[in-house]
């Protein structure tokens, strides 16, 4: 009896352990689930096309390629494919960079190799000695690794692999995550736990998570990471911390990922013992030169610095009567001998500048066009305010042809529901990238500014403010993984379609079943418009609550800086609502090329999605659908809530295609999102109703609480603040 009981307990414990670890693993494995292919027909086709791996190279990166291929194929094809170093059998996958290929194969691929750059790859079906083979190659081993991930994606998404002929290469050079991670492991605007970087245990303890992080990034082509917050701490530049940074760089290197740091402009004073950080002071210049030398001695491929200067209280060259060019060029000179770069942020605005905040970065930076060193790239947020659910593209794109500009997107959802709301961001990213600046006439897309083709720039890049933390599933919301994934894919190729990316991600993460893919893809693609509708429809912006930006706070008017207050942005009054940025207002429209300016300036041609961004509009104004502005606004809020409800239904209907753990997680999160969407609708409409003085139209649900109730809500411990 006793032993039976013990046996039962043991079995339960084992079962518990197995199921516990599989829960953790599913979430943890991101888009690299590599599940066994259950469709027998597809499986047998793949098995017939692949029966060996030949790895021709021995570098650390090459080993990652062959291990990944071996592990993933054996899992997906449920077979025992081995890695060899010589070509023997037919239907092998031959991997290795150009220089190690057999001469005959290289000759066959000569033309293809001219199509790619240093990080690109070729995947091609060939005949070698009359035997069918697949070659994955590139100019360098890192290209081969990208090729391997791309090949695996084909298998993960059930694409044919019989006649492959793919040449692909990244369109930007710097595809980088910006971690706003502090040295105490809190993450500014982080909603997925604490920082991955365990500074206290580094450099001696290498958490396996660092490897998994690098692998996930490499799989989508990300090749850089800024480890530290833009609101920087100078200590990261001391030997004590550089030793730790070096350890991380060593882990990331074989995955093609370079490490970058944020440079606190006042570091020469804080950790260098100097009296000044004036960029024109010789001792300051020398301090940075020595600092660069010290860093590169440890980390020969160190990427460079990201700098937030004279912005939101951060120190910068203006503290010494110098300007952004002086500051950026001084740092650029320090890292130039080692091939480093400086990413200088354009996110600047000042409480002492009475100008429309949306105009300030352009006004300050555009006159500097052409004055920065060759190794400086100016990093510009996608819109002129701050990562709102929707912003028109930043007018700096298309206005600085002589300066490389890189895009800064925010992957973490500071203003879009934290990690609780399902919002598929590549849709937002795509909208920005395909906006037309008209800098050189029609088709001067933001994407062309960013990839350097519009103005012939060699230094190009896209940054994403990371949504990663030490949560088991990395990003808090299982669907927020898609935002990390999609960011990487768009950084590689800013012309990709967000729908295609969503589908890839779903197939690699959840299921290839069309009955899952079709409805969930639609849900993802609509989710961005849903959040715009229930938070900031028709061009409203920055009406989130104070500081933490969690939930609605359109009434907030007591913050020390005028442009931190929501009332500054919506300007609701008896006459109407919206920020007049037309020629008659602040003339922010004038910062765009004339064709674009005219479209935004004219009430009749301004897209309604941006209406209240550019115009102060009377409550009775007739929208295109015939509704008054007040009714239309209210109906948009309701539409947003209804869309979340639809998302809940969609999710319920795909239950059978998802593992129970992730199903439950998403279901619970959607319930919260629905609750919070209603909170947004009710709080905003009750507040704006005080000005419009009108009833809610038919079809809009009655508010669940009073305005006073919503105003009374406090969140002293909202995360990320």
Tell me if 676 contacts ligand BDP by CB under 6 A: no
Q: Is 673 helix (H, G, I), strand (E, B) or coil?
A: helix
Reduced to 3 states, what is the DSSP secondary structure of residue 16? helix
Q: According to CB under 6 A, which residues from 333 to 352 bind ligand BDP?
A: 347
**In the complex, what is the shortest distance from the CB of residue 671 to ligand BDP, in angstroms, rounded to a whole number?**
27
Min separation Cβ 692 and ligand BDP, Å: 30
Picking from 160, 142, 144, the residue whose alpha carbon sits closest to that of residue 53 is 144
CB-wise, 436 or 563, nearer to ligand BDP? 563
Nearest approach, Cβ of residue 408 and ligand BDP (Å)? 8
Give the Cβ contact number of residue 157 at 10 Å. Answer: 15
Burial label for 458, CB within 10 Å (0-12, 13-18, 19+), is exposed
Phi/psi class of residue 195: alpha, beta or left (left: φ > 0; alpha: ψ in -120 to 50)?
beta
Nearer to ligand BDP, 72 or 377 (CB): 377
Taking the least distance from each CB to ligand BDP, the nearer of 386 and 545 is 386
Give the DSSP letter string of 605-665.
TS-GGGHHHH--EETTPBPTTS-BHHHHHHHHHHHHHHHHHHHHHHHHHTGGGS-HHHHHH
Nearer Cβ to ligand BDP, position 361 or 449?
Answer: 361
- The token duo for 531 is 């959040």
Q: Which residues contact 441 (CB under 8 A, 6 or more apart)?
A: none
Site string for ligand BDP, 282-321 (x = CB under 6 A): --------------------------x---x---------
The least CB distance from residue 172 to ligand BDP, in Å, is 20
Nearest distance from residue 414's CB to ligand BDP, in Å?
6
Is 393 within 8 Å of 447 (Cβ atoms)?
Answer: no
Task: Write down the least CB distance from residue 718 to ligand BDP, Å.
Answer: 12
3-state SS class at 125 = strand
440-469 positions binding ligand BDP, by CB under 6 A: none
> Least distance in Å: CB of 597 to ligand BDP?
26
Count other C-beta atoms under 10 Å from residue 90's C-beta: 14
Token pair 């001792």 is found at 283
**H helix runs in 114-207, sequence order:** 141-156
Which stretches within 299-340 are classed as H helix?
Answer: 324-335
Cα 571 from Cα 579, distance rounded (Å) = 6
Beta carbons within 10 angstroms of residue 166's beta carbon: 15
β-strands 224-226, 165-168: how paired? Answer: unpaired
Name beta bridge partners: 125: 134
98 versus 356: smaller Cβ distance to ligand BDP: 356
List Cβ neighbours of 327 (8 Å cut-off, separation of 6 or more): 265, 279, 307, 309, 316, 317, 344
**Shortest reach from residue 418's CB to ligand BDP, in Å:** 13
Nearest residue relative to ligand BDP (C-beta): 386
Smallest distance, ligand BDP to C-beta of residue 336, A: 25
Q: Nearer Cβ to ligand BDP, position 347 or 688?
A: 347
Catalytic residue among 70, 281, 301, 312: 312
Tokens of 243: 């030793």
Q: Is 189 one of the binding residues for ligand BDP (CB under 6 A)?
A: yes
Residue 133 or 360 having the CB closest to ligand BDP: 360
DSSP 86-124: S--SSSEEEE--GGGS-HHHHHHHHHHHTT--TT-EEEE
Please write down the long-range contacts of 196-199, taking CB distance under 8 Å and 24 or more positions apart.
196/468, 196/469, 196/470, 197/227, 197/244, 197/248, 199/241, 199/244
Nearest distance in Å: CB 311, ligand BDP: 6
Q: Compute the chain's Rg from CA coordinates.
A: 27
Catalytic residue (choose from 323, 356, 386, 431)? 386
Q: Shortest distance, CB of residue 230 to ligand BDP, whole angstroms? A: 5
Asked if 414 is an active-site residue, the reply is yes
Candidate list 31, 260, 387, 680; residue touching ligand BDP; CB under 6 A? 387
Closer residue to ligand BDP, CB minimum distance, 286 or 546? 546
* DSSP code, position 135: E
Helix 141-156 / helix 208-219 crossing angle, nearest 10 deg = 80
Helix, strand, or coil (residue 226): strand
Among 188, 455, 513, 587, binds ligand BDP (CB under 6 A): 188
CB of residue 342 to ligand BDP, shortest distance in Å: 16
Is the Cβ of residue 387 or residue 613 nearer to ligand BDP in the bound state? Answer: 387
Q: Indicate whether 215 belongs to the interface with ligand BDP (CB under 6 A).
A: no
Residue 230 found at the interface with ligand BDP (CB under 6 A): yes
Binding of residue 414 to ligand BDP (CB under 6 A): yes
Q: State the Cα–Cα distance between residues 567 and 553, nearest whole angstrom.
A: 9
Establish if 667 lies at the interface with ligand BDP (CB under 6 A).
no
Site for ligand BDP contains 124 (CB under 6 A): no
Q: Which of 125, 157, 231, 319 binds ligand BDP (CB under 6 A)?
A: 231
Q: Among this protein's residues, is 312 annotated catalytic?
A: yes
What's the rounded Cα separation, in Å, for the pair 141 and 100?
10
**Ranges within 543-602 binding ligand BDP (CB under 6 A):** none
- Binder of ligand BDP out of 323, 386, 451, 503 (CB under 6 A): 386
Q: How far apart are the first and last CA of the chain?
A: 57
Would you state the structure tokens that stand for residue 638, as one six-digit string?
């309701």
Give me the helices (H) in 253-381, please: 267-270, 282-298, 324-335, 357-365
The site for ligand BDP (CB under 6 A) is made up of 188-189, 230-231, 308, 312, 347, 386-387, 414
Catalytic residue annotation: 312, 386, 414
């Amino acid at each position: 009896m006793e032993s039976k009981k013990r046996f039962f307990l043991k079995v339960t414990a084992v079962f518990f352990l197995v199921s516990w670890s599989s829960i953790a693993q599913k979430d943890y494995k991101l888009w690299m689930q590599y599940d066994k292919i259950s469709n027998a027909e597809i499986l047998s086709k793949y098995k017939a096309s692949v029966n060996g791996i030949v790895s021709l190279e021995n570098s650390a990166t090459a080993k990652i390629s062959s291990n990944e291929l071996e592990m993933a194929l054996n899992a997906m094809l449920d077979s025992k494919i081995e890695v060899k170093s010589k070509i023997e059998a037919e239907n092998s996958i031959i991997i290795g960079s150009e220089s190690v290929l057999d001469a005959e194969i290289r000759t066959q691929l000569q033309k293809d190799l001219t199509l790619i750059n240093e990080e690109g790859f070729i995947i091609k079906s060939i005949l070698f000695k009359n035997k069918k083979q697949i070659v994955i190659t590139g100019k360098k081993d890192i290209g081969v690794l990208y090729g391997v991930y791309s090949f695996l994606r084909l298998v993960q998404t059930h694409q044919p692999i019989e006649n492959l002929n793919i040449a692909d290469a990244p369109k930007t050079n710097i595809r980088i995550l910006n971690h706003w991670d502090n040295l105490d492991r809190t993450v500014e605007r982080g909603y997925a736990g604490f920082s991955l970087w365990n500074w206290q245990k580094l450099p001696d303890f290498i958490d396996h998570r660092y490897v998994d992080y690098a692998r996930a990034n490499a799989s989508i082509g990300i090749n850089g990471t800024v480890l530290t917050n833009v609101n920087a701490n100078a200590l990261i530049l001391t030997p004590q911390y550089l030793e730790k940074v070096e350890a991380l760089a060593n882990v990331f290197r074989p995955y093609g990922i370079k490490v970058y740091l944020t440079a606190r402009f006042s570091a020469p004073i804080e950790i260098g013992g100097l009296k000044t950080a004036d960029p024109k002071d010789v001792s300051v210049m020398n301090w940075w030169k020595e600092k660069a030398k010290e860093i590169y001695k440890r980390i020969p491929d160190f990427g460079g610095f990201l700098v937030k200067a004279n912005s939101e209280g951060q120190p910068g060259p203006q503290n010494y009567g110098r300007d952004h060019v002086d500051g950026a060029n001084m740092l650029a000179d320090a890292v130039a001998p080692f091939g480093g770069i400086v990413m200088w942020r354009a996110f600047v605005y000042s409480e002492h500048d009475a100008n429309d905040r949306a105009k300030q970065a352009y006004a300050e930076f555009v006159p500097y066009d052409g004055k920065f060193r060759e190794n400086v790239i100016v990093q510009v947020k996608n819109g002129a305010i701050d990562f709102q659910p929707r912003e028109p593209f930043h007018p700096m794109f298309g206005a600085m042809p002589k300066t490389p500009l890189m895009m800064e997107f925010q992957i973490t959802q500071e203003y879009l529901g934290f990690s609780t709301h399902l919002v598929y961001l590549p849709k937002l990213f795509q909208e920005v990238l395909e906006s037309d600046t008209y800098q050189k006439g029609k088709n001067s897309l933001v994407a062309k500014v960013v990839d350097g083709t519009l103005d012939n720039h060699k230094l190009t890049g896209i940054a994403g403010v990371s949504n990663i933390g030490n949560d088991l599933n990395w990003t808090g919301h299982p669907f927020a993984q898609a935002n990390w994934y999609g960011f990487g894919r768009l950084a590689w190729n800013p012309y990709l379609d967000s729908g295609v990316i969503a589908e890839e991600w779903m197939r690699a993460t959840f299921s290839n079943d069309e009955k899952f893919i079709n409805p969930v893809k639609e849900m993802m693609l609509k989710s961005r418009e849903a959040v715009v509708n229930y938070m900031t429809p028709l061009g409203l912006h920055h009406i989130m609550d104070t500081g933490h930006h969690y939930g609605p706070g359109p009434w907030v008017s007591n913050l020390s800086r005028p442009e931190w207050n929501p009332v500054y942005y919506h300007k609701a009054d008896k006459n109407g609502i919206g920020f007049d940025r037309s020629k008659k207002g602040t003339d922010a429209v004038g910062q765009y090329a004339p064709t674009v300016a005219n479209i935004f300036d004219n009430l009749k041609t301004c897209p309604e999605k941006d209406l209240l961004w550019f115009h102060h509009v009377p409550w009775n104004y007739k929208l295109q659908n015939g509704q008054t502005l007040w009714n239309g606004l209210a109906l948009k809020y309701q539409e947003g809530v209804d869309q979340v409800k639809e998302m809940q239904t969609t999710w319920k209907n795909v239950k059978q295609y998802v593992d129970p753990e992730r199903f439950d997680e998403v279901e619970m999160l959607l319930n919260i999102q629905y609750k919070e969407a209603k909170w947004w609708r009710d709080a905003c409409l009750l507040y704006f109703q005080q000005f419009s003085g009108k009833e809610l139209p038919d079809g809009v649900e009655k508010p669940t609480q009073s305005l006073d109730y919503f105003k009374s809500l406090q969140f002293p411990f909202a995360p990320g603040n």
